[in-house]
Amino acid sequence: MDEIRNSVTGKTYACFEPALDYVVVKIPRWPFDKFVKADVTLGTRMKATGEVMAIGSSFEIALMKAVYSLELGFDSLEMSCLSDMSDREIAMLLKQKNHERLFVVAEALRRGISVKEINRKTGIDAFFLHKLINIVEQEERLKKMSVRQLDKPTLERCKGMGLSDQAIARFVKADIKDIRRKREEYGILPVYKVVDTCAAEFEAFSPYYYSSYGCENEVNPGPEGKVVIIGSGPIRIGQGIEFDYCSVHCIWALKKLGYQAVIINNNPETVSTDFDISDRLYFEPLTPEYVLNVLDKEKPDGVMVQFGGQSAIKLVKAIHEAGYRVLGTPPEYIHKAEDRKEFDALLGLLGIPRPEGGTAFSVDEAADVAERLGYPVLVRPSYVLGGQGMEIAYTNSDVVEFMSIINRSRQEHPVLIDKYITGREIEVDAVCDGQDILIPGIMEHIERAGIHSGDSISVYPPVNVSSHIVKKIVDYTVELALALRIKGLINIQFLEYKEKLYVIEVNPRSSRTVPFISKVTGIPLIELAVRAIMGQKIRDMGYGTGLISPGKIVAAKVPVFSFDKLPMLEVALGPEMKSTGEVLGMAYNLSEALYKGFTAAGHKITGGKGTVLISVADIYKDEAVALAGEFKKLGFNLLATEGTARVLIMKGIEAQTVNKLSRSGCDICNMIKNRSLDLVINIPTHGRIPERDGFKIRRMAVENSIPCITSLDTAWAFLDAIKMSVGEKKPVVVCLNDI
């Protein structure tokens, strides 16, 4: 150890005892803001999809920074829904081990419940409870003050504990800009400290910083020629490591162009937060306050927001209004793509069709729009990631339920109500320099519209898209990119229905499919986007323009789910994204690519022998007949619930009828528990209702590690993979030179 040099300090060795002058807090990021009906109890089974990390000079400031980094809308330790509860209800909630416990404990301390009682009910050490009291008491003091009474010592104490400008403004009933202005007048500005593991005893070479107050500043931003990249925050469903891929490749591209690359992010799991990736890393929450603090210190030539997903896009307004240059697509056009009314107006101007729709803030407005469009309709909030809060409503009561869930968080933008059309989804990622466009490839979704793109199997190149539709896709992509003044990346999702092409949405940023399409085409999309943003022309980059012809490779992106980790979560797929990852299968034909993809995703492919349980909603029964026949031809034993079995037998397909769960001596329960089933195909009418047999069957299947498919399109793809496994031809290794 005395021979291994410490890469952080560059001087000390591994045998040097670490000396820390900072506190680090890590908080898991759970998916319960999306899955409001899942079992939120925490225990020995891991349920988090990611985590955030925060660094501060005290526990209080590190904890508060971690809370902000979760991106759940909290600006303090107050949870509004707890304020109306009685002391007795709060005391009862203390016993529940769930994702809201931190805020329940804070509320209990606010009510005067003793540290001793909280410690007895929760097991949380008194040291941490006393630290929480410091924060809660400061919050309560602020509530009794006006903005005029907010003197320098009080404001210094607030910032030293990590209280946000937004919370301070709310407590003293002032505008957040007034609080920031007052801080600046008092000279209460953040300083940046180095993460050095030696308590500043030695000079450190690590470009790894965190903010603090009342200390000596240790960051030297350096000369001009630097760009700040906004990262993507914690990994959660809808925004995963694909955006870290984009951020890291952006950093590498900027360095190659001779710029200093500075990143702001807070996720310890990612490559972008490794201390040796960027020129400087700021481990900070991705909120306007913390981001603007860094920009004020760095004074960059510009800020890149395209590569951090929706977290970065949401910061565009604050960055632009603060006077910093947003590189690439102009902020007003980012808003035009994100705001539904403005986007609809643009599509109308261009003559590009989209499913008919409307907007609403209230339940009554939403119901009126839905009635006008005719059910079913797609209900979704604006500016969302991963389809959060997005549902298909079949009745007025569905609209009421979905609107109540969406409005649990304050909506600055209207809720979107679109006519739901069942068709083929097609997706494109492209790069534009303001004049020319490069489309590396077109991706076709196996599952029809209604299932979130992140949960669909995505295939490149498309296999069912006509040349007529391909031409329209290219034309619409060019028109939209130029109309939105795209410089850098654009992602467009299309819907083909009865030979007509509709635009579903446009994202003026990188997407989750960028790593996929970059790897299967060999085109470094992020590098080209960065070069285009920085003023280079696509036609000079050596990859051509327009739609690039595919090579010999067929690729399938297959989602991975964690349903077994989240009890009571609906397994059936829909508009809200549920997958926690994905795998890639590459081959010289689609069946083999699907086989590799399903296998890599952890599905057991039985070679033509086994038992399949089929249970489908009435509207899909006729369509399921051909699928069942193909499974029968392969030698599978077919089981079906009563209604499905009746249809199959009428069509001449032998199937054994099994009892519903509600009947005594349930066949399905025993078969699932004994794992005598190899595959469950269960296509629900609506899903979501835990009392229904279908919901219970799907939950039992995933909890017993039996593949459960909830879309007929997925089932056909799975059948192709099975046929590949029973054929004489074995999977072959793909040569990447054939891309």
Identify how many contiguous H helices and E strands the chain contains and give both numbers: 25, 26
Q: What is the pLDDT of the chain when averaged over all its residues?
A: 90
Residues 6+ apart with CB under 8 A from 202: 9, 11, 12, 196
Residues 6+ apart with CB under 8 A from 33: 72, 388
Would you give the distance in Å from CA 249 to the centre of its chain? 19
pLDDT above 60 for 665: no
**Per-residue pLDDT tens digits for 72-86:** 999 999 998 898 999
C-alpha to C-alpha distance for 436 and 539, rounded to whole angstroms = 7
Give me the pLDDT at residue 155, please. Answer: 96
The whole-number average pLDDT for the span 98-123 is 96
What is the H or E stretch that residue 118 is in? helix 115-122
**Per-residue pLDDT tens digits for 416-475:** 888 888 899 999 999 999 999 999 999 999 999 889 999 999 999 999 999 999 999 999
In the sheet with 377-381, reading across from the earlier edge strand, the strands are: 357-360, 415-419, 377-381, 391-393
pLDDT above 80 for 283: yes
pLDDT above 70 for 598: yes
Give me the pLDDT at residue 306, please. Answer: 97
Would you give the distance in Å from CA 309 to the centre of its chain? 8
* Long-range pairs for 125-131: beta carbons < 8 A, 24 or more residues apart: 128/59, 129/105, 131/59, 131/60, 131/63
Give me the pLDDT at residue 673, please. Answer: 85
What Rg value do the Cα atoms of the chain yield, rounded?
Answer: 27
* Amino acid sitting at position 329: T
Tokens 């349930």 locate to 666
pLDDT band at residue 204, thresholds of 50, 70 and 90? low
Give me the pLDDT at residue 17, please. Answer: 63
pLDDT band at residue 113, thresholds of 50, 70 and 90? very high
pLDDT above 90 for 198: no
Task: Fill in the DSSP letter of residue 621.
Answer: H
E strands, 120-243, in order: 191-194, 208-212, 226-230
pLDDT above 80 for 385: no
User: Domains in the chain, start-ordered, CATH in brackets?
Assistant: 23-191 (1.10.1030.10), 221-327 (3.40.50.20), 602-726 (3.40.50.1380)
C-alpha to C-alpha distance for 265 and 209, rounded to whole angstroms = 11
By the 8 A CB rule, do 109 and 118 touch?
yes
By the 8 A CB rule, do 29 and 258 touch?
no
Give me the pLDDT at residue 214, please. Answer: 85
pLDDT band at residue 695, thresholds of 50, 70 and 90? confident
Nearest Cα to Cα of residue 229 among 242, 244, 246, 247: 247
Give the pairing of strands 260-265 and 391-393.
unpaired
pLDDT above 80 for 688: no
Lowest mean pLDDT segment, chosen from 564-568, 670-674, 728-732 = 728-732
C-alpha to C-alpha distance for 105 and 122, rounded to whole angstroms = 9
Give me the pLDDT at residue 412, please. Answer: 62
**Per-residue pLDDT tens digits for 496-517:** 999 899 999 899 999 999 999 9
**Per-residue pLDDT tens digits for 471-498:** 999 999 999 999 999 999 999 999 999 9
Give me the pLDDT at residue 456, please. Answer: 95
The whole-number average pLDDT for the span 54-78 is 96
Burial profile 683-721: b = 16 or more Cβ within 10 angstroms, e = fewer: bbebbeeeebbbbbbbbbbbbbebbbbbbbbbbbbbbbb
The whole-number average pLDDT for the span 299-317 is 96
What is the maximum span of the chain, computed from C-alpha positions, in angstroms? Answer: 84
Instruction: Give 305-336 as a DSSP string.
Output: -TTSHHHHHTTHHHHHHTT--B-SS-HHHHHH
By the 8 A CB rule, do 305 and 316 touch?
yes
**Per-residue pLDDT tens digits for 602-611:** 998 877 678 9
pTM above 0.85, yes or no: yes
C-alpha to C-alpha distance for 56 and 64, rounded to whole angstroms = 9
> Any alpha helices (H) in 441-543, and if so which ranges?
467-483, 514-521, 525-533
pLDDT above 70 coverage of the chain, percent:
92
**Per-residue pLDDT tens digits for 387-399:** 456 778 888 888 8
pLDDT above 70 for 62: yes
By the 8 A CB rule, do 520 and 586 touch?
yes
Nearest Cα to Cα of residue 700 among 567, 598, 548, 514: 567
Give me the pLDDT at residue 386, please. Answer: 47
